[in-house]
Amino acid sequence: MPKINAKNLILITIISFVLISSNIGGLYIYALDEAKNSVCAREMLDRGDLVVPTFNHELRTDKPPLHYYFMQIAYLIFGVNEFSARFFSVIMGILTILTSVWLATRYLGERAGFYTAIVLLSSLHFVLQFHMAVPDPYLIFLTTSGLAAFYVFYREEKPAFLLVSYLAFGLGSLTKGPVALALPGLSVLIFLLLNKKLNRRYLLQLKPLWVLGVFLLVILPWYLLVSLRTDGEWTREFFFYHNVGRYTNTMEGHGAIFLVTPLFTILGMLPFAVFLIQSFRTAWKKRNENQLLFFSMVIILTIVVFFSFSETKLPNYTVPAYPFLAILAGYYLSGLQDHMGKHMKINLITLAVYSILMIVFPVAVYFALGMDPELDHLRHLAFYFLILPAGGFIGLYFTFRNSFKGMVIALSVSWILVILLFFHIIFPRVDQQNPVAETIGKIDRDLPVAAYKIYNPAFSFYIPKHFTELDSRPELEEYITELNGYIITRKSLGEELENIPQLKKIAEAKDIFEIPTTVIYQIERDLPAGQ
C-alpha cells in the first residue's frame, strides 16, 4: 500500500503546526465557551477533582471531562494561561490532518493524501476550530481516527484497528457525550446496510463483546461517578437539556432553516469547496472501484443531514465531516492534475464564480466592522481579505493557461496567507476591543468580586477566585455593607442599581459584535474599625 512520502509528511506537519498554533497565546480567552471550559479545568485542577466539573465553583453540566483533563496537563506544564488552555487543541488539529492524510494515502494514493492536507490547511474555519479551548477539537480528532480505523478493519480485517476504533468512539463520548457514538455509529450502519453487510454474520465479526468492554471500562466509570457525586443532577442536565434540548429546541438564539447547515459546511471548506460538486460526482462514479470514497460520502451526508434537522444550528457542528470532505476533494484534485484540459470549461466557470464571490468577502467584513461603533475604526482590516479575490483571479488565469499546480497554489496560498494574517494581525486588533481586555486593568484582583445577575465568564479566567453571584437588589445591598471590592454586571441592568451611593462606575465596554455592554462598579464605603 502507498506510504506517505517522508518529505511531504514533514512539510505537512510543519505547516499544520504553524497554522494551527498561530498566536494561540496572544489572543484573549474571551468567547463564552472557551472561558467556561478553561475555568472549569482550572477549578478541577485546584481541587484535585477528576470527576465533578464546576464553573465559579458551581456544577457545570455542559460537557464530559476529557478535554478538561488535557487542559489540566497543559496547566501543570505551562501554567494557567491562554497558550496552555489551547495547547492540546492544536495537537488534536495536527493529528486530525495527519490521520486524514494517512487514510487517503493508504487507499487513494500519495497524491490524493497530499491534496487532502492542502484542502484542510486552506480552510480558515477548520484551522479556527483548533484554536479554541473547547471540546470540539478532541471530538473531531477522535471521530476522524475512529472512523479511519474502522475502515481499515473493514478493508483489511485487522482486529487491532477495530479495537482502536471502539476506543476512539468511547473516548469521544467522554468529550461531547452521545453524539460521539451516535453519528459515527449511524454512519457505519448506513455504510454496511448499503453494502449489504448489515447481517448477523458480519455483526459478529465486529466483536460486540469488545463494544461492551469499552463501555464498561472507558465510558461507564466516569458517568457513574459523576452521577453518584451529584445525586444525578449532572446526568439529568447533560442528557436532557444539553443533548435532547439542543436538538429539539433552539438554544441561545442559534436557530435557522434546514439549508443553513449545508451552507455552513460549504463556506467552512472554502476555497476548495468550489470543487465539491465535481468531487461528489467523481466519488459517486468511482464508489465501487474504491470504497473509501463511498464511505466518506456516507459520513458527510449523515453528519450534515443529522444537524440540518437540529433546531440549534452552529457552524462547528459539521466540522467532523471536514476531513472526509477533504478526502473527496483531494481525490478529485489528484485526478484533475492529469486531466486539467479535459475539464477546462467547468473549471473556468467554477473559478470565475469563486473569484467574483470572493470580492464580496472583504466588502462584507468592511461593513460588518462598520456596523459596530466600537470596531468602526478597524474597518481598514477588511483590505487584508483582498488577498482572496486576488488569489481567485490568479487561479483563474492559471486555469486558463492549463496550469493545475498554479491554480492550486494560487487558491491555497491566498487562504493560508489570510489565515496567518487573521491570527497574527486582524483578529488580535479586534480582540483588544473586547470588554475583558478593556476593563480588566481597572480591577484590583486582591479585592472581592461579585456578579450582579449576569457577567462575562471570561473575567473568571483572568481573576482566579470565586465570584459571589447576586440575584436581587436586596442581596446586593446586603453584600456592599459587608465587603469592599467590585460588582460586574450588564449596562441593561443599570436601572436596578440606581441610587446606591456606595457604587461608583469605573469601567464600561461593549461586547464585540454583541448587544450587551459590560459595566464594572467599585464599592466605595468607609471600612469598619479595625480593618
Query: Long-range CB contacts (< 8 A, 24+ apart) of 521-527?
Result: 521/486, 521/487, 521/488, 521/489, 521/497, 522/485, 522/486, 522/487, 523/480, 523/483, 523/484, 523/485, 523/486, 523/487, 525/480, 525/481, 525/484, 527/484
Domain shared by 175 and 238, yes or no: yes
Same domain, 390 and 326: no
Give the model confidence (pLDDT) of 30-59 as tens digits: 888 999 999 999 999 999 999 999 999 999
Percent of the chain with pLDDT over 70: 95
* Structure confidence by residue, pLDDT tens digits, 275-296: 999 999 999 999 888 999 999 9
Asked if residue 233 has pLDDT above 90, the reply is yes
Instruction: Specify the pLDDT at position 258.
Output: 64
Q: Is 411 within a domain?
A: yes
**525 — pLDDT class (breaks 50, 70, 90):** low
Q: Is residue 531 part of a domain?
A: no
The phi and psi torsions of 162 (rounded to 5 degrees) equal: -65, -40
Say whether pLDDT at 240 is over 80: no
**441 and 485 both lie in a single domain:** yes
Query: Rounded mean pLDDT of 329-335?
Result: 95
**pLDDT 10s digits, 288-318:** 889 999 999 999 999 999 988 877 778 889 9
Q: Which residues pair with 59 in a beta bridge?
A: 54
Per-residue confidence (pLDDT) for residue 255, from 0 to 100: 45
Taking Cα atoms as reference points, which of 262, 426, 260, 278 lies closest to residue 354?
278
Note whether 286 and 376 are same-domain residues. Answer: no
> Do the domain assignments include residue 161?
yes
User: How does residue 102 score in pLDDT terms, banded at 50, 70 and 90?
Assistant: very high
Q: Supply the pLDDT for residue 313.
A: 73
Predicted confidence (pLDDT) at residue 502 exceeds the cutoff of 90: no
Are 254 and 369 contained in the same domain? no
CATH of the domain at 461: 3.40.190
Look at residues 433, 465, 497 and tell me which one is the last residue of a structural domain.
Answer: 433
Where among 433, 467, 496 does a domain terminate?
433
Last residue of a domain, one of 411, 433, 455: 433
Q: State yes or no: pLDDT of 528 exceeds 90.
A: no
φ, ψ of residue 520 to 5 degrees: the values are -120, 130
Q: Are residues 312 and 360 in the same domain?
A: no
SS3 content of the chain, % helix, strand, coil (to 5): 70, 5, 25
Domain of 518?
A: 437-523
Please give the angle made by the CA atoms of 146, 152 and 153, to the nearest 5 degrees: 90
**Residue 529: band (very low, low, confident or very high) from pLDDT cuts 50, 70, 90:** very low
**Do the domain assignments include residue 491?**
yes
| Position 239 in a domain | yes
pLDDT in tens, 105-117: 999 999 999 999 9
In a domain, 529, yes or no: no
Task: Give 509's strand partners.
Answer: 518
Residue 206 has pLDDT above 90, yes or no: yes
Query: Residue 116: exposed, middle, or buried by beta-carbon count in 10 A (0-12, 13-18, 19+)?
Result: buried
Q: Is the pLDDT of residue 408 over 60?
A: yes
Q: Which pLDDT score, from 0 to 100, does residue 316 have?
A: 87
Give how far the C-alpha of residue 25 lies from the chain's centroid of Cα atoms, to the nearest Å: 17
In the prediction, which pLDDT does 496 show?
86
Same domain, 219 and 332: yes
Beta-bridge partners for 470 = 452
User: Is it the case that residue 93 has pLDDT exceeding 60?
Assistant: yes
Q: What is the pLDDT of residue 5?
A: 80
Q: Does one domain contain both 28 and 63?
A: yes
Percent of the residues in the chain that have a pLDDT greater than 90, as a whole number:
70
Domains: count for the chain: 3
When pLDDT is averaged across residues 22-29 and rounded to a whole number, the result is 95
Task: Tell me how crowded residue 145 is: count the other CB atoms within 10 A of its CB.
Answer: 26
Q: Where are the alpha helices (DSSP H) in 29-158?
A: 32-47, 66-78, 82-108, 110-121, 124-129, 136-156
d(CA 264, CA 415): 17
Q: Is the domain of 279 the same as that of 386?
A: no
Domain membership of residue 192 (yes or no) is: yes
pLDDT tens-digit map of 461-486: 999 999 999 999 999 988 888 778 99
- What CA–CA distance (Å, rounded) separates 294 from 93? 24
| Whether residues 38 and 185 fall in one domain | yes
Res 190: pLDDT: 96
What rounded mean pLDDT belongs to the chain?
Answer: 90
Task: Measure Cα distances from 89 to 82, 129, 290, 292, 381 in Å.
Answer: 12, 8, 32, 27, 27
Same domain, 317 and 358: no
Asked if residue 45 is part of any domain, the answer here is yes
Q: 352-383 pLDDT, tens per residue? A: 999 999 999 999 999 988 888 888 899 999 99
**pLDDT confidence of 242, banded at 50, 70, 90?**
low
Q: Among 123-137, 196-210, 447-461, 515-529, where is mean pLDDT lowest?
A: 515-529
Q: Which CB contacts under 8 angstroms, 24+ apart, belong to 209-214? A: 210/162, 210/163, 210/166, 211/166, 214/166, 214/167, 214/169, 214/170
Same domain, 345 and 332: no
